Amino acid sequence: MQQEERPQEDPQEGKRTYRYTVGSIVSWAIFRAAAVIGVMLLVSEYVRWLDYGTWWAATLLLFYAAVLHPMQIQYRIYKDETKNVMEGTLCSTCRYFEPTGVMCSKLDEHVSEDHIPCEGELWEPK
């Protein structure tokens, strides 16, 4: 059974912090993809009895298991964590709101349910 991830309080500022961002999801996927490519190149060099078709099948299976599937799970958690911000805050209706990063593009700060960066003073409709 998978434990559900929840936003946590930042002890220094009292703000909610989220476990995943789009940038962290993509960057870790790139790191994992590089690791898969490196491992499978080593396998192709040192395991001579492995034929070409089987090597490609193993590479694609490992790529899905180590890169794509964890990325999908992390993105699903990210969408669940940020759903309330996207639907129920003043920021989500502002023209400076960047939905892919859940941030205010004018002030370059992340938005949460409890933290509106400009406190509504710079709000402009879309």
Q: Are residues 68 and 25 in the same domain?
A: yes
Structure tokens at 67: 């890169």
The 103-104 sheet, strands edge to edge: 97-98, 103-104, 109-110
Residue 33 shares a structural domain with residue 60: yes
Say how far residue 51 (Cα) sits from the centre of its chain. 36
For residue 49, the enclosing domain spans 16-81
101 in the same domain as 75: no
pLDDT mean by block of 10 residues, the chain; 126 residues: 50 59 92 96 89 92 97 92 84 86 85 82 83
Judgement on whether residues 22 and 75 belong to the same structural domain of the protein: yes
Q: What does each C-alpha distance from 97 to 75, 78, 122 come to in angstroms?
A: 19, 17, 11
pTM (2 d.p.): 0.72
In a domain, 124, yes or no: yes
pLDDT at residue number 103: 85
Which residues are within 8 A (CB) of 40 and not within 5 positions of it... i.e. 6 or more apart?
55, 58, 59, 62
Per-residue confidence (pLDDT) for residue 1, from 0 to 100: 43
Number of domains in the chain: 2
Look at residue 103 and tell me if it is in a domain. Answer: yes
Q: Are residues 72 and 22 in the same domain?
A: yes
Whether residue 25 is found in the same domain as residue 72: yes
SS3 17: strand
Contact 71, 25 (CB under 8 A): yes
Residue 50 DSSP one-character state: S
Residue 7 forms part of a structural domain: no
Neighbours of 11 (CB within 10 A): 8
**What does the pLDDT read at residue 63?**
97
In a domain, 11, yes or no: no
Beta bridge partners of 97: 104
Phi and psi for 50 in degrees, rounded to 5? -80, 120
Task: Give the per-residue pLDDT at 15.
Answer: 56
